[in-house]
Amino acid sequence: MYPLIRNRRLRATESIRRLVRETTISPDDFLTPLFVVEGKGIKEEIASMPDQYRLSLDNLEKEVKELWKMGLCAVLLFVKVPDNLKDNKGTEALNANGLMQRAIKTVKNACPDMLVMTDVAMDPYSSYGHDGIVENGQILNDETSEFLSEMSISHAKAGADFVAPSDMMDGRILTIREALEDEGFINTGIMSYSAKYASAFYGPFRDALDSAPVNQKDVPKDKKTYQMDFANRFEAIRETQMDIEEGADIVMVKPGLAYLDIVREIKNEVDVPIAVYQVSGEYAMLKAAAEKGWLDHDAVMMEQLIAIKRAGANIIASYFAKDAVKLM
Ligand code: PBG
C-alpha cells in the first residue's frame, strides 16, 4: 500500500524499464509483404504507400537478399497481374509459369532459407476484382474453394512453404488441406486469414495491385458477403476455431490496430500462433501524418507494433518491417 508501494520505482530509469518490460519485438516477429510485377528493372513506388514498391523479379531477388541480411526471415508475396490475363475464373493463377510461381522460385533461389508465404485469393486475377467466381451477382463459395485448392497446389509445387488463403470462403481451409495432403504436400503450411474484416483500410493495397471490385451491373460492389462485418466480435472466434479444426497452422486477424480487441479475444481462446496484418491503410495513415510533420514516424510506428504484439500477436505482417528492424 502507498507509500510502501510506489509503482514509479519501476519506471525511474531506462535500465529498470528495460528490466521489467513485458513486451519486446525483434526481426523474428515480422512477415514482410512484397508486391511483384512483370518486367525487368522495375521498382515502382506505390503512390498511397510511400517506400513500398512493385518489384520485377530481378529487383525482388535484390530485395529479398537485403531483407535476409537485415535479419528478416519471412515474406508474403502478392502479384500484380496484367489486365489481359484476368478473367472471372482466375485461370492465370494456375499457370505453372505464372508470375507468382516464378516469384516463389526467385525468392527460394536467392535465399533458400527465407520462408515464403503466398497470398491465395482470386482478386488479383479476377476481371471483377473479387476473391471468388461471380455468377448472377453472387460470389460462388464451393467452386471458389475448389479453385483455391488448385491454386495452393500450384504454389506448393513452385516451392511455397506456406499458403495464405485471404478470401474468407467457407470451408476453404479443409478443401485446401485435403488437396495438399492428396498431392503429397504434407509439410506445406496454411496461414489462414481467419478473421478478415470487410475493411476500408485495404484501399492502398487495392491501388497497388489494381484489384478493387469493378463498378459493373451484376457485380457486387464490395466484399461484405464474404469478409466479416466489422461490428462483430464473437463471429471472429467462431471463424478462427473453424479454421483451426479444418487444419490451419497459423490464424490471422486483419486489419491490425483497430482490431486489437479481437486479437486478444482470440489469443485467450486458441493456442495456435496468431498473425496480425497491419494493413496498407494503417501504413498510409502514419506515412501521411509523418510527412506533414504531425506525428513522429518512428515513435508512433514502434508504439503501434508493440501494441499489436502486446495484444497477442505472435507474427506481425507489416509494411513497416524494414523501418522497424533498422531501429532495433
Ligand atoms: C486479397 C488481399 C487483400 C489484402 C491482402 N490480401 C485485399 C482485399 O481483401 O481486398 C489487403 C492487405 C492490405 O491492405 O495491406 N484478398
- Residue 68 in grid coordinates: 535476409
Q: Are strands 162-165 and 189-196 parallel, antiparallel or unpaired?
A: parallel
Q: Which residue has the cell 491465395?
A: 120
Name every residue whose Cβ is closer than 8 Å to that of residue 323 and which is 6 or more positions away in sequence: 51, 297, 298, 301
Q: What pLDDT score was predicted for residue 210?
A: 87
pTM above 0.95, yes or no: yes
Residue whose CB lies within 8 A of the most ligand 1 atoms, among 32, 126, 202, for a mutation test: 202
Measured distance CA(244)–CA(173) in Å, rounded: 9
Measured distance CA(68)–CA(188) in Å, rounded: 21
Which atom of ligand 1 lies closest to the CA of 167?
16
3-state secondary structure of 76: strand
Q: Which stretches within 87-232 are classed as H helix?
A: 99-110, 142-158, 172-182, 203-209
- Residue 226 in grid coordinates: 464474404
Domain boundaries, the chain: 24-327
Q: What pLDDT score was predicted for residue 131?
A: 95
Q: Are 99 and 81 in contact (CB under 8 A)?
A: yes
pLDDT in tens, 154-206: 999 999 999 999 999 999 999 999 999 999 999 999 999 999 999 999 999 99
Q: What pLDDT score was predicted for residue 108?
A: 98
Spans of the chain, pLDDT less than 50? none
CATH number of the domain at 24-327, please?
3.20.20.70
- Residue 192 in grid coordinates: 489462414
With CA atoms as reference, report the closest residue to 61 among 81, 75, 82: 75
Say whether 326 is catalytic: no
Residue whose CB lies within 8 A of the most ligand 1 atoms, among 35, 123, 193, for a mutation test: 123
- Residue 133 in grid coordinates: 467466381
Say whether 108 is catalytic: no
